[in-house]
Amino acid sequence: MAKLSGPTITLLVLAASGAQMLPQPARASPAQVDRLVQTALQLDRNPARGGRLYAKNCSSCHGPDALGDSVRVIPSLAGQRRAYLIKQLADFTELERESEPMHAALARSGLTQPQDWVDVAAHLNSLPVAAFQETGDGEGVELGEAIFQEQCASCHEEDGRGDDDGFVPSLRNQHYSYLLRQSRSLATWHRHNVEPDLVRFLDSLDIDELTAVADYLSRMRGPTRDRTRLDQDGTAGD
Ligand code: HEC
Ligand code: HEC
């Protein structure tokens, strides 16, 4: 059988999903993502709509409760910071973060507008976190703790919960395999729209050190100690 070309596959996928023909985005720019994210953060959130979009388009990979899958290296999204999630969805949509499965999922579902990201992120942020069994072998945990507290906690906070604005992600309740892979992805510029300093931090660590930090982080479990930013109704917002 002749090899299918990209546009043919796109047409087949769109025909199968009944979606309208969408323009294929070229890689945009960090400034464009920033603009989209700022637009998104001004919008009202509808977590119920987000939950429906998620169940239809995302749960097949990330799971019904958004807990991901360590074997397939699919991240848990439950309880993740809202602004961070919105930025990642904008980055994937604008091809500023590499991941074929995510590019395909967003294009196929047409989930490419700020309102969609806001609603899905509100849903995901509200979900309860869960602990996972998988960790590293435990040999490097002390080294991992020392590195994390010295080099990473200034941004991610001592307990790994992320920053108050919500753009620095929580690293708690995340799969070991995913943490390890992302540490390398960041160090090798597979995520284009990140601070050069972050890339340098991670690139300065060798594989034993990255393994040690991922092992330490994979043991950070449970809800965060506190949520300093509360929404007007008193619930944790990000
Ligand atoms: C085909 C499987 C698949 C589907 C469907 C899918 N994802 Fe993903 N998702 C992944 C994988 C794999 C990654 C990790 C990408 C990487 O390695 O950088 C990911 C990463 C993410 C991230 C980044 C998380 C982080 O901690 O940085 C977000 C957010 C996300 N997905 C949201 C969604 C949403 C919302 C949907 C539904 C529109 C969705 N995903 C559908 C496989 C999938
Ligand atoms: C200067 C602040 C800063 C420092 C220091 C920092 N990070 Fe981060 N980190 C970030 C930000 C911001 C992001 C989100 C990047 C993006 O928007 O894609 C991030 C993302 C990550 C992610 C990806 C999480 C996910 O869900 O995909 C990992 C893993 C990570 N950092 C680990 C580390 C480790 C390990 C260190 C220490 C060696 C470290 N970071 C130091 C700011 C920082």
Answer whether residue 100 is part of any domain.
Answer: yes
Residues 105 and 37 in one domain: yes
Rg (CA), the chain: 18
Q: Which residue has the tokens 């069994």?
A: 133
Q: Minimal CA–CA distance to 184: which of 68, 106, 67, 98?
A: 98
Structure confidence at residue 171 (pLDDT): 96
Residues 106 and 155 in one domain: no
Within 13 A of 152's CA, how many CA atoms are on the CB side? 28
Answer whether residue 97 is part of any domain.
Answer: yes
Mean pLDDT throughout 186-214? Answer: 94
Measured from the CA of 89, which atom of ligand 1 is nearest? 29
Residues 170 and 95 in one domain: no
Structure confidence at residue 225 (pLDDT): 58
Among 66, 101, 126, identify where a domain stops.
126
Measured from the CA of 91, which atom of ligand 2 is nearest? 18
Structure confidence at residue 1 (pLDDT): 37
Give the separation between CA 105 and CA 111, rounded to whole angstroms.
Answer: 8
CATH of the domain at 187: 1.10.760.10
Residues 206 and 117 in one domain: no
Full 3-state SS string of the chain = CCCCCHHHHHHHHHHHHCCCCCCCCCCCCHHHHHHHHHHHHHCCCCHHHHHHHHHHHCHHHHCCCCCCECCCCECCCCCCCHHHHHHHHHHHHCCCECCHHHHHHHHHHCCCCHHHHHHHHHHHHHCCCCCCCCCCCCCCHHHHHHHHHHHHHHHHCCCCCCCCCCCCCCCCCCCHHHHHHHHHHHHCCCECCCCHHHHHHHHCCCHHHHHHHHHHHCCCCCCCCCCCCECCCCCECC
Answer whether residue 19 is part of any domain.
Answer: no
Answer whether residue 1 is part of any domain.
Answer: no
Lowest-pLDDT range, 67-71, 163-167, 227-231?
A: 227-231
Structure confidence at residue 2 (pLDDT): 39
Structure confidence at residue 137 (pLDDT): 93
Residues 145 and 115 in one domain: no
Residues 70 and 111 in one domain: yes
Answer whether residue 231 is part of any domain.
Answer: no
User: Domain range for residue 192?
Assistant: 141-217
Structure confidence at residue 64 (pLDDT): 97
Residues 36 and 119 in one domain: yes
Pocket lining: 113 vs ligand 1, CB cutoff 6 Å: no
- Encode pLDDT of 121-180 as tens digits: 999 999 999 988 889 999 999 999 999 999 999 999 999 999 888 999 999 999 999 999
Residues 106 and 171 in one domain: no
Give the separation between CA 222 and CA 22, rounded to whole angstroms.
Answer: 41
Residues 192 and 119 in one domain: no
Pocket lining: 77 vs ligand 1, CB cutoff 6 Å: yes
Give the separation between CA 177 and CA 71, rounded to whole angstroms.
Answer: 8
Residues 116 and 147 in one domain: no
The pLDDT confidence band at residue 5, using thresholds 50, 70 and 90, is: very low
Ligand 2: residue whose CA is nearest its atom 10: 168
Top-confidence residue, 7 or 41: 41
- Encode pLDDT of 16-68 as tens digits: 333 344 444 466 689 999 999 999 999 999 999 999 999 999 999 999 999 99
Share of the chain above pLDDT 90, in %: 76
The pLDDT confidence band at residue 223, using thresholds 50, 70 and 90, is: confident
Pocket lining: 175 vs ligand 2, CB cutoff 6 Å: no
Residues 104 and 180 in one domain: no
Lowest-pLDDT range, 36-40, 69-73, 165-169, 221-225?
A: 221-225
Mean pLDDT of the chain: 86
Ligand 2: residue whose CA is nearest its atom 13: 168
CA of 106 to the centre of ligand 1 (A): 9
Measured from the CA of 201, which atom of ligand 2 is nearest? 38
Among 98, 126, 154, identify where a domain stops.
126
Residues 105 and 168 in one domain: no
The pLDDT confidence band at residue 12, using thresholds 50, 70 and 90, is: very low
Answer whether residue 237 is part of any domain.
Answer: no
Structure confidence at residue 132 (pLDDT): 85
Give the separation between CA 138 and CA 219, rounded to whole angstroms.
Answer: 10
Answer whether residue 227 is part of any domain.
Answer: no
Structure confidence at residue 227 (pLDDT): 55
Answer whether residue 111 is part of any domain.
Answer: yes
How many domains does one find in the chain? 2
Measured from the CA of 179, which atom of ligand 2 is nearest? 29
Structure confidence at residue 165 (pLDDT): 87
